[in-house]
Amino acid sequence: MRKLKFHEKKLLKKVNFLEWKREAGHREASIMQRYHLSERDDYKKYNGICRMVQKLVNILKQMDAGDPYRIEMTDHLLEKLYNMGAIPNRKSLAVCERLSVSSLCRRRLSFILVRLKFTEYLKEAVTYIEQGHIRVGTETVTDPAFLVTRNMEDFVTWVDSSKIKKKVLQYNDKLDDYDLIQ
């Protein structure tokens, strides 16, 4: 590579390579690192969902408070986001306005595993999911981006044939002799 000329060095000093105007600074990178998002597309999709919800909330707020359509749509929106686990309560639209990418990332299967004490670290949870050790209900899930709703959270377990499940049961002295045969 050739040595840069004086005017080229001067131009490079003016460019900030870390913060671009289009990309929200370091927020994207920090969230991707914190929640162990493997693909940038996941962040973009969650951000798009948050943006659409905020637009919908603004439209609903502009409508008349007594309008039956507004009341019905508000109830549907609050119910949907609450059942998904993105908001803590169904009280008002103000909660929906504060919807963020982080609140959606906290509903990913990998984060739920850490919260339910299946694993200690997110990276470990992602590895277990990708290797096929985790199931939700009757289905084995191999995608760490799988969103777990409030109802499905109770059905997150180890796969029956998982060696990790056997180790955990053996450690807790709950391993049945019948399980060793399988």
* pLDDT > 70 in the chain, percent: 92
Domain that holds residue 101: 27-105
> How many separate domains does the chain show?
2
* Residue 128 belongs to some domain of the structure: yes
Over range 153-163, report the average pLDDT.
92
pLDDT tens-place string over residues 98-136: 899 999 999 999 999 999 999 999 999 999 999 999 999
Judge if 57 and 126 occupy the same domain: no
Over range 73-91, report the average pLDDT.
93
pLDDT tens-place string over residues 6-39: 988 888 888 776 665 665 557 888 899 999 998 8
Q: 163: which 2 tokens?
A: 């060696």
Single out the residue in 52, 80, 105 at which a domain terminates.
105
* Residue 155 belongs to some domain of the structure: yes
* Residue 9 belongs to some domain of the structure: no
Judge if 31 and 69 occupy the same domain: yes
Judge if 117 and 100 occupy the same domain: no
* Residue 72 belongs to some domain of the structure: yes
* Residue 88 belongs to some domain of the structure: yes
